[in-house]
Amino acid sequence: LLRERLDVRLPGEVEAPDDNFTVEIDPLQKSSLGRDLLEARRRHAEYGKWLDAAQFDGTLPPGALGASSLQGVVEEVGHLEASALGWGIDLTSATEERVGFDLPVDEWIGSTSTSHSLRLEGSIGGIVQREGQLLATDIRFARPKPSHRLALVVRLAALQYAQPDVPWTGVLLTRASSSESAKASTTEFGFRFRGDEAARREAALAVLRMAAQMAMWSFRDAVPFLGDTSRSLAERDIDGAYEAFEKVNDAWESLLWAGLSPREMLDTPITTVDPAVIVPYLPSEWVDEPDGIALDSRVAATAEWVWRTVNDAIEQIDSSGNPVADAEVPADDVADDSGEDNEE
């Protein structure tokens, strides 16, 4: 009666106020602040006004400690803006481009294929015009990831297929990789589709078909494409693949492939319902790796299929539009326990 009707209760413990305060921001807070500032700069916001607003939201260390934390964010966003200007990109000038077309694609279940015509339609942001050239840009306050490059390649493929007469260029700018020995301020990745008008359209079509086939595969099964792990496998970096796989901190991998060790996951062979298009991409050997991953690994075949399709379709360029000889893909960050920029 006292408790349920009259709501009479004994007093609970009174928590003592916490007299500690934050002296620095953690990586996740820094990423959030950096993304917020970058978006504010796209809207013509001044650094000073953004700093004033950020210091009053209650999450930063007090006084000079908070100002010091914010200064690091401001410097990194400034580096991104400087890199963008080097490519002729004004953050405030980006627009959207509308695309719409029918994509012919085969859906594979095992060795059986069914032809489809998929309608692809939507808007692609980050479009910048530079001296008569059209650029599809992605500028983000994040560490470089293979998923960032792959996403922009697919978006550029849609633009290139829809407008084959336009020599589209893709530009991805991110924070510097935390693993780079050189003290680079940003990571830059510029590219375009290879060849003349007809070749560009065919290259874009190959990328779009691969992406569509992956999407259709994902509707019926967990696609064994694992971001950093798959990129390392495509580069024949077995140690890097294991390191990336063991460091992944996302719950989706443990959910989709529960109970599998890294070795078991990477050694799982192609199944009878995996699309036959990945079979030609099985590795014939692992050079200098006597204890390499199984040659019939579905993870390895999928990685090779995706990244060889991309690498055959594009060429890397510098900010002047010149091909980069012996270009190396920028170093990527492998997710760690901090969870910073963990957005696969």
Distance of CA 325 to the CA centre of its chain: 24
Where do we find the tokens 């290259």? 203
Burial class (CB in 10 A: 0-12, 13-18, 19+), 239: exposed
Is residue 282 over pLDDT 90? no
Is residue 288 over pLDDT 60? no
Per-residue confidence (pLDDT) for residue 109, from 0 to 100: 93
Confidence of residue 222 (pLDDT cuts 50, 70, 90): confident
Least trusted range by pLDDT, from 100-114, 121-135, 207-221, 283-297:
283-297
3-state secondary structure of 19: coil
CA distance 270 to 278: 9
Residue 49: how many other CB atoms lie within 10 Å = 10
Q: 76 with 25: CB under 8 angstroms?
A: no
CA distance 174 to 135: 16
Name the more confident of 185 and 310.
Answer: 310
**Concatenated DSSP letters for 181-217?**
SS--SEEEEEEEE-SSHHHHHHHHHHHHHHHHHHHHH
Per-residue confidence (pLDDT) for residue 69, from 0 to 100: 74
Does this model's pTM top 0.95? My answer is no
Q: 344 with 34: CB under 8 angstroms?
A: no
CA distance 175 to 205: 30
Per-residue confidence (pLDDT) for residue 187, from 0 to 100: 94
